[in-house]
A and B are shown apart, each in its own frame.
Chain A
Amino acid sequence: MKKFLSLLLAAATILVSASACSNTTATSSAAAPAPAGETGSSEASAAPEKVTGSITASGSSALYPLVKDAISKFKKINPDVSITLNAGGSGTGLKQVSDGSVDIGNSDVEAASKLAADKAKELVDHKICVITMAPIVNKDVAEKVKSLTTEQLVSIFTAKTKNWKEVGGPDEPIVLVTRPATSGTRALFKQYALNNQEEASNASLETDDSGALLQSVSTHKGAIGYVALSYLINNTSVSTVAIDNVEPSLENTYNGTYKVWGYEHMYTKGEPEGAVKAFLDYMQSEEYGNSVETLGYNVTSKMKATK
């Protein structure tokens, strides 16, 4: 009996650790082997040339949902391509594409900021989409605070303003919720929303990812944080705040009135070829553009403003 129990326990442990290891990997490999000759029945409407091969990508977690969606749609058209995608952070993505362990490195920031200059030069940048960051607050604050000026925002995130009543809100202490210092989202928010002022790390709660931040802001009275618009699709648990009376929205980013946005980069080492090129082209195609917007990202080609 005891032996059986311990065996069971061991098996359970192995299972659990195995599943824990693979939780951020979305592997989807087409099982069908590449046909030896032309079968002649290829869907001419979808793909003029048959795309085969494998693609590996890793990096930014802000871009992860979009790439994951693009993969599933791309594979419907090109079932013979196998694509592996990992999250892991912009730094990881850039490092891995630079040393050749993945084909595509996803990043919220430019390669030069995370790689040595000579390594960054070898990479080719594909500005796959634009991402808009929005300040978000707990529901109870949102009733009174609809908009903040840049000055107020800076003052809040540098912990100089400590109570919501100072900016016209309820009499509640402000709870700052932030992202790790090396996060791409944080870098963007700092640069365009906070005029490059450093956030007060010694007064804020740090969360590992945007999902956890959303959860934290929605459950704590007086909380304020920031996430990409892509995390706010179908969201009702928190409210966005306008900056200088400009609502964070895809339209306002397109017409250039809302300033907190940045390019999402997909880097390749050298010019892309074969399946990688086909995939990057697909992601930037008009056909896929609608999906980009449905998921809360901006299409790069529609931008009136540039950075």
Chain B
Amino acid sequence: MAKKETFWRSVITACGMLIIILTLAIGAFLIYKGVGTFTVFHHSVAEFLFSPDWNPADDFTGGGHVGAAIFIFGSISICMLALLISAPFSIAAAIFMAEISPRLSEKIFQPAVEIFIGIPSVVYGWVGVTVLVPFLERVFHLPYGFSVLAGALVLAVMIFPSITSVSADALRSVPEEYKEAAYGLGSTRWQVIWRVLLPAARPGVLTGIILGLARAFGEALAVAMVIGKKLAFPENIFSPTNNLTSAIASDMGGAAEGGEYNLALWTMALLLLLISYVFILLVRKISEKQVRKE
């Protein structure tokens, strides 16, 4: 009996260790590849982050320019716009699910949101490019609908379920006494939601938003299909631009392995990893605060 126990215990420990090693290995590999731009081809970090001059040489002698500012700005602007569109809807949906109609939501809304999560991103991109892009062209009389707005709308739909389900969980876990006390003092339902529920659930809602943002940042396929991939800063939300993930995806197969172009793409991948670490740290900070408060 005891033998069996140790056996399974070691199997599970091994599985756990494997995942940890894998994560560390991916991080180490990205760092190893990603710093090449700075160590092998001697570009400065400032050039990579702030210069809009992107023209790396696709060979081993280098001499090109690796300014990724357009991609970085593209990623940030699209994600922020997506969040701006998605957050109000997601939080409203979460309130509806947790507070206004829990029974209806459990039967219909919750499964619907869960199915939403399972839809692969290529489907979002495809629908975006065949429906959304022509629609934007017609409505706003654009020469082409590929734009920051198209990317943000696709992402907004994609991150909606993550923000909604995490927020709804947070709202549901607010102690019943809070609500009862507020009602006891004569609050209306709206006052309870706005003044008591939301503030109490704020860390959870924030966690949901950051998780959504992290997903939006890492999404490549769906955005790449509708963004237009023009190598320029967007003039407004109707103009096309490019972002980190799309740039990596479109050139990773063609660039010479170990060349300046290839290494610059690895550096962009490293930057994406760092950004996602920042998001994770933020989530941890927020949930730590929550624990301390309780």
Contacts and interface: CB of A to CB of B under 8 A. Distances in A.
Interface of A: 5-6, 9, 12-13, 16-17, 20, 88-92, 94-95, 113-116, 173, 175, 180-184, 201-208, 219-222
A91 B258 CA distance: 11
Nearest to A115: B256
B111 interface: yes
Nearest to A207: B229
Contacts of B144: 175, 205, 220
A184 B251 CA distance: 11
Contacts of B250: 180, 206, 208
A250 B60 CA distance: 35
B253 interface: yes
B232 interface: yes
A9 B115 contact: yes
A9 B118 contact: yes
A90 B143 contact: no
A13 B60 contact: no
Contact of A113 (B55, B59, B253): B59
A95 B249 contact: no
Nearest to A221: B143
B141 to A, nearest CB: 12
Contacts of B95: none
Nearest to A87: B253
Contact of A206 (B58, B122, B143, B242): B242
B231 A91 contact: no
A307 to B, nearest CB: 20
The 7 closest A-B pairs by CB, nearest first: A89-B253, A182-B254, A206-B229, A114-B256, A201-B231, A202-B232, A89-B254
Contacts of B111: 5
Contacts of A184: 254
26 contacts: A5-B111, A5-B114, A6-B114, A89-B252, A89-B253, A92-B253, A95-B256, A95-B257, A114-B257, A114-B259, A115-B257, A180-B251, A181-B55, A181-B251, A182-B251, A182-B253, A184-B254, A201-B54, A202-B230, A205-B228, A205-B229, A206-B228, A206-B229, A206-B230, A206-B231, A222-B143
Contacts of A221: 143
A183 B254 contact: yes
Contact of B253 (A88, A205, A220): A88
Interface residues of B, number: 36
A206 B230 CA distance: 6
Given A95-B257, A205-B240, A173 B118 contact: no
Given A175-B143, A181-B261, A205-B146, A91 B254 contact: yes
Interface string B233-267: 00000001010000001111111111101100000
Contacts of A207: 229
A13 to B, nearest CB: 5
Contacts of B231: 201-202, 206
Contacts of A114: 58, 256-257, 259
A91 B255 contact: yes
B224 interface: yes
B195 to A, nearest CB: 33
B120 interface: yes
Contacts of B146: 205
Interface in B77-127: 111, 114-115, 118, 120, 122
Contacts of A180: 250-251, 254
B163 to A, nearest CB: 19
A88 B259 CA distance: 17
A95 B252 CA distance: 12
A76 B213 CA distance: 52
B62 interface: no
- Name which of A116, A180, A207, A219 has the most chain B CB atoms within 10 A of its CB: A180
B232 A91 contact: no
A4 to B, nearest CB: 11
Contacts of A173: 143
Contact of B255 (A12, A20, A182): A182
B119 to A, nearest CB: 9
Given A95-B256, A175-B143, 15 more contacts: A9-B115, A16-B120, A20-B120, A20-B122, A89-B253, A89-B254, A90-B253, A92-B254, A116-B60, A180-B251, A181-B58, A183-B254, A203-B232, A207-B229, A220-B143
A185 to B, nearest CB: 10
A94 B229 CA distance: 26
Contacts of A206: 228-231, 242, 250
A205 B225 CA distance: 11
B143 A208 contact: no
Given A182-B58, A206-B242, A222-B143, A91 B256 contact: yes
B134 interface: yes
A175 B143 CA distance: 8
B61 to A, nearest CB: 11
Contacts of B114: 5-6, 9
A206 B231 CA distance: 8
A208 B232 contact: no
B261 A182 contact: yes
Contacts of A219: 134
